[in-house]
Structure 1
Amino acid sequence: MSQKMDRRSFLAVTAATTTGLLATRTAPAADDFAGFVVGVQTYTFRNFDLEQMLKRTKELGLKSGEFYAKHIPIESQPEKLKAILALCKEYDVTPKGFGVVGFSKDHDANKKLFEFGKSIGVQYLSADPSMDSFDSLDKLCEEYKIAIAIHPHGPVGGGKRHRWWSAEQILKAVKDHHKLIGTCLDTGHLIRMATLGEKLDPAEQVKVMGDRNFALHLKDHDNKKDTDVPFGDSAGVLDVSAVLKALKAVKFTGHVAIEYEANADNPSPDMKKCVAFIKESAAKIS
C-alpha cells in the first residue's frame, strides 16, 4: 500500500469505526444490468495493488467486487482494514464477497475467516471446503449469516478434475446442510471441463443449484488456446444471455463477478468489452 494511499485512507477514518463505514456504504447500483449486481473478481487485477485495482474497477463503471487476498490481506490488523475500507468507499467499490478461501474441520480456523468476512462486510465467502468441514460451516453460517459459495475449479492438471467440478456434485454434498451453503459457479471453469469430456452448460448448472446460487464468476474461455476471451468473442462459447435468464429463473439476488484471467498486465480493454456485452445482454432480457 502506497504512502499516498495510507495517508489519505487514515485521514478518512479518523472519526469512523469499521462498523460505521460498513453502515454508510451505499449498495452497488444495478440499473445498468437489469437488476443484477455486477462487479469484478479482483483477481482480474492481480498484477496491481489495491488502489490501482480500485481505480480500474471504477473506470469500468463497476461498483462492487469479490476481493482476493492480495487486495485485502486476511491477516490485516483493524487499523489497516479501516484504511482499506475507506479507500474502497472513496472509489465507490463495495466488497460483496471474498475468496477463494479453503475450509477444513478446524472450527477455530474457520471461525477466523468468518470474523474476517464480517469485519469487511461481505455477504459471502467464495470457498473450497473439504468434505469434513460442513458441520463447522453449518454452525458458522447460522451464527454470522454469511454464505459459503463453493467454487468449482474444473481441470486441475494430469487429466484430473477438482473435487468441486459441477453443480450436481456440489448440490449432492450440501443439500442436507445449512441453506447458506451453496455455490459461486465459475462459467469459465465449467467450460474447461469439456477438455475432460464433461460438457457442462453454465446456464443449466445455474438452474441445478436453484436458490443455492450465492455468487457467480462470469467469464468465457477458449479451450483450444486455453485462455479467457472477452464475452462475444468468436473463439468463446459462453451464452451470456442464457446465463442471465437462468439467474432470473432461479430468482438470483447474489453477486455476479466478472473475472478475466488473460492479459494480466492490462486486462482493462477486454474487461470494457465484457461490461458492454453484459449490459447489452441484460437489456434484452429485462
Structure 2
Amino acid sequence: MDTFMHFQSNNIITAPKIGGFWLGCQAWTFNKRTVAEAITLTAKAGGKTIEFFPGQKLEAGGEGLGPDNSDATIAKVRDWCKQAGITPVAFGVTGFAPNEADARKLATFAKKLGIRTIVTESGAAELKVMEPFLKEMDLYLAIHNHPRQSKNPNYKVWDPKYVLELVSSFDTRIGSCADTGHWVRSGIKPVEALKILKGRIHASHLKDLNQFGEPHGHDVPFGTGVSDIPAILAEFRRQGYQGHLSIEYEINGDGPLEDVAACIGFVRGLGAGKK
C-alpha cells in the first residue's frame, strides 16, 4: 500500500486557530507566484493554512500542482508547508470528469497532499461518482460559487438555494465552499446565504468587497468594505463551523501582503474580543 495513505483522518484540521478559526490563504491570492512562494507568503502574512489551486507552478519553470504529480513532488510540497508552519487544507477550484478513474485520481491526490476538502463547481453526475471516494478516503467536497452570470442562465451555483438543492441528496461530506465576495457581487448578503447552507458548509473563500451588487467590485481589507465580516464570522461561530477560511484577493496576483496581514489581524482581533 502507498505509504501516503496512512495519514490520519482529515476530518479535523490540526493547524492552530486564529480568532477561533482555521485561517490562511487561497493560493490564488499569489497566483503570479509559485507554490513555494505562496506557502512562504501565507506564513509571512500570519496565516496558518493554505488552499492550493490547480496548475500553479511549484517552482519557477517547474511543473504545475495537480493530480498528475509524483509522490516525490507531493512530499516536497508537504515538506515546504511543514517548514513554514502551514497546514494544507484544500485544493480547488478544480474540475474532474464524471468517471471513476478521474474521481479516484483526484481523491487520491487530495489524500496524499494531506488536505481535507476538494473545492469544485461540478454537477450531480460528478458528485455521484466522487461520493464513494470521499467516504473511502475521509475527504470532503465543497461546491464553490462564482458570481451570477446574466448571459448564462445555466450557471446556477451562484445561488445558495440551488447549491443546497444540489448537495442535499448526497452524503453530508458534500457541501458548499462559501465565497462571500462572489455572493456580494451577485447581490446576495453573505450571512443570509450562510444561514441557508447551515450544516453543509465545508470551506469558505472569505472576502470583503468595496461595493455591493457590483460584478466588478474589488477586494479590500476586512472591516473596510460592505461584506460585514464581523457578522459573517459571528454566523460561522453560531453554526459551529468546522471548516477553514481562506482569504482570497483577486486584484493583485503578486499578493497584497499588507492587506492579507491586515485581514488576519482583523479576525484575530475579533476573536480576542469574543474571549
TM-score past 0.5 threshold: yes
Mark the CA change 1:267 to 1:156 in structure 2 (over 3 Å): closer, same or farther.
farther
Query: Following TM superposition, by how much is the alpha carbon of 1:151 offset from its aligned partner in structure 2, in angstroms?
Result: 0.3
Task: Provide the rounded CA distance (Å) in 1 between the counterparts of 2:255 and 2:176.
Answer: 29
Task: Provide the rounded CA distance (Å) in 2 between the counterparts of 1:44 and 1:160.
Answer: 28
Preserved CA contact (<8 Å) 2:45 2:258: no
Structure 2 regions of 5+ residues with no counterpart? 59-64
User: Does residue 1:279 correspond to 2:258, yes or no?
Assistant: no
Q: 1:131 aligned to 117, 124, 129, which one?
A: 124
Task: Provide the rounded CA distance (Å) in 2 between the counterparts of 1:180 and 1:121.
Answer: 16
Q: How does 1:55-204 map to 2 (within 5 A)?
A: 55-69=40-54, 70=56, 71=58, 72-156=65-149, 158=151, 162-194=155-187, 200-204=188-192
AA matched with 1:212: R
Residue in 1 that maps onto 2:38: 53
The alignment partner of 1:155 has SS state of: coil
Residue in 1 that maps onto 2:203: 215
Which structure shows the bigger proportion of residues in helix conformation?
1
Which structure shows the bigger proportion of residues in strand conformation?
1
**Alignment TM-score, normalising by the size of structure 2:** 0.87
Mark the CA change 1:135 to 1:74 in structure 2 (over 3 Å): closer, same or farther.
closer
Query: Following TM superposition, by how much is the alpha carbon of 1:152 offset from its aligned partner in structure 2, in angstroms?
Result: 0.7
The alignment partner of 1:271 has SS state of: helix
Report which of the two structures shows the higher radius of gyration computed on alpha carbons.
Answer: 1
Residue in 1 that maps onto 2:16: 29
Structure 1 regions of 5+ residues with no counterpart? 1-16, 195-199
Find runs of 4+ consecutive structure 1 residues off by over 4 angstroms.
17-23
Preserved CA contact (<8 Å) 2:50 2:89: yes
Preserved CA contact (<8 Å) 2:36 2:77: no
* Structure of higher RCO (CA pairs closer than 8 Å, 6+ residues apart): 2
Query: Following TM superposition, by how much is the alpha carbon of 1:21 offset from its aligned partner in structure 2, in angstroms?
Result: 8.2
